[in-house]
């Protein structure tokens, strides 16, 4: 069964395809009611589905945006992607999803792919430390907005972020107020910007109270498994621990497991603090005390911002910062 095209409809309706195109695209001020209805009916009857590839080639726009995240399997990114998709849909865009695994090469490959697909813009949670992907986007004049992760070395990029440092400061203050002094911090992977920002919040506050000790800083990879591994190391190496501040929830969930397994009472023996407020943090027992990011809002805003840029509407601020919020629950 051959796919039906505008020409088919035009032929059947006895008009030109220009006319068909116009009525199907609602640019029909000058088309008589009669022709309009005739065309609409035929299109409907034949289940006509426009070929948007042809349309894109002609208009140079695709009504598609790309989103590049490290890993959709990470709840933070699945939630934020979901938000992006929802808002994109509202504005008539659809989204191509790309998992970079924090690898620069994959990022680059995907950026090329997206450009070649004529995406109208991209939302980019940069994982790698190299920035070829961003340069490519710039060279090809593709609008893009950074999400979650700031990128050093560039001025004036659009972006939607959370005030990571502030969040950790709040968290550490809260632990301190509750009498915790031996606070271990688990940072994220070395070269990722948010990992550094969160660490700096910890360092700042601990130094302020004169209790910073670099041996209390551990590194892991933002995954549950990583949280598990690092926690085994921590309880082996440090004798007295009042609290562990995991710089994301996934690691906290993994870590809490190890603590409970080893007979620690949470939060009596040891407090736990996470970061993100992903869905699952409310469902573990005890519930995770964490620094909440407005994940859905961030996804939504990044999409709105991108679409504004695409449409050349003036945006007041190139960078949008969301405030994190301490969410007191059962683990601290």
Binding stretches for DNA (CB under 7 A) = 3, 5-7, 14-19, 21-22, 24-25, 27, 30-32, 34-35, 50-51, 54-55, 57-60
Q: Rounded to the nearest 10 degrees, what angle do helices 75-90 and 295-310 cross at?
A: 40
User: Closest distance between a copy of itself and the C-beta of residue 35, in Å?
Assistant: 24
With CB under 5 to 8 Å by kind, the binding choice for 112 among a copy of itself, DNA, none is a copy of itself
Q: Which is nearer to DNA, 51 or 178 (CB)?
A: 51
User: Closest distance between a copy of itself and the C-beta of residue 79, in Å?
Assistant: 6
**CA gap 215, 241 in Å, rounded:** 12
User: Closest distance between a copy of itself and the C-beta of residue 139, in Å?
Assistant: 6
Written as six digits, the tokens of 83 are 């938000």
- Reply yes or no: is the peptide bond before residue 286 cis, omega within 30 of 0: yes
User: Closest distance between DNA and the C-beta of residue 33, in Å?
Assistant: 7
User: Closest distance between DNA and the C-beta of residue 55, in Å?
Assistant: 4
Interface mask (CB under 8 A) for a copy of itself, residues 40-69, using x and -?
-------x-xxxxxx-xx----x-x-----
Q: Which stretch binds a copy of itself (CB under 8 A): 9-17, 194-202, 252-260, 312-320?
A: 252-260
**CA gap 37, 23 in Å, rounded:** 9
Number of residues interacting with a copy of itself: please give it, by CB under 8 A: 52
Selection from 151, 87, 107 nearest residue 302 by Cα: 87
DSSP string across 120-176? SEEEE---SS--HHHHHHHHTT--EEEES---TT-SS--EEEE-HHHHHHHHHHHHH
* Interface with a copy of itself (CB under 8 A): 1, 3, 47, 49-54, 56-57, 62, 64, 71-73, 75, 78-79, 81-82, 85-86, 94-99, 112-113, 115-118, 136, 139-141, 224, 228, 253-254, 256-257, 260-261, 279-280, 283-285
């Amino acid at each position: 069964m051959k796919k039906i095209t505008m020409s088919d409809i035009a032929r059947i309706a006895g008009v030109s395809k220009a006319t068909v195109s116009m009525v199907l695209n609602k640019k029909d001020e000058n088309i008589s009611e009669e022709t309009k209805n005739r065309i609409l009916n035929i299109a409907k009857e034949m289940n006509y589905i426009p070929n948007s590839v042809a349309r894109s080639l002609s208009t140079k726009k695709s009504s598609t945006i790309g989103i590049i995240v490290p890993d959709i399997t990470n709840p933070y990114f699945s939630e934020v992607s979901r938000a992006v998709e929802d808002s994109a849909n509202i504005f008539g865009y659809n989204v191509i999803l790309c998992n970079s695994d924090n690898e620069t090469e994959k990022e680059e490959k995907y950026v090329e792919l997206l450009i070649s697909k004529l995406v109208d813009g991209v939302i980019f949670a940069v994982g790698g430390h190299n920035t070829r992907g961003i340069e490519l986007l710039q060279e090809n004049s593709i609008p893009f907005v950074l999400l979650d992760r700031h990128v050093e070395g560039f001025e004036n990029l659009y972006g939607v972020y959370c005030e990571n440092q502030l969040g950790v400061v709040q968290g550490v203050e809260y632990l301190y107020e509750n009498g915790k002094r031996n606070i271990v911090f688990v940072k994220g992977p070395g070269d990722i910007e948010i990992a550094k920002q969160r660490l700096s919040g910890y360092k700042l506050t601990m130094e302020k109270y004169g209790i910073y000790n670099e041996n209390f800083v551990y590194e892991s990879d933002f995954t549950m498994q990583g949280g598990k591994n690092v926690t085994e190391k921590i309880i082996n190496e440090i004798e007295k621990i009042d609290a562990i501040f995991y710089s994301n929830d996934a690691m906290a969930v993994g870590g809490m497991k190890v603590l409970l397994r080893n007979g620690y009472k949470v939060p009596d023996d040891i407090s736990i603090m996470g970061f993100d407020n992903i869905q699952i943090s409310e469902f573990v027992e005890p519930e995770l005390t964490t620094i909440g990011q407005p994940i859905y809002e961030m996804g939504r805003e990044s999409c709105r911002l991108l679409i504004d840029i695409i449409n050349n509407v003036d945006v007041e601020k190139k960078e949008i910062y969301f405030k994190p919020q301490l969410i007191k629950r059962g683990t601290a």
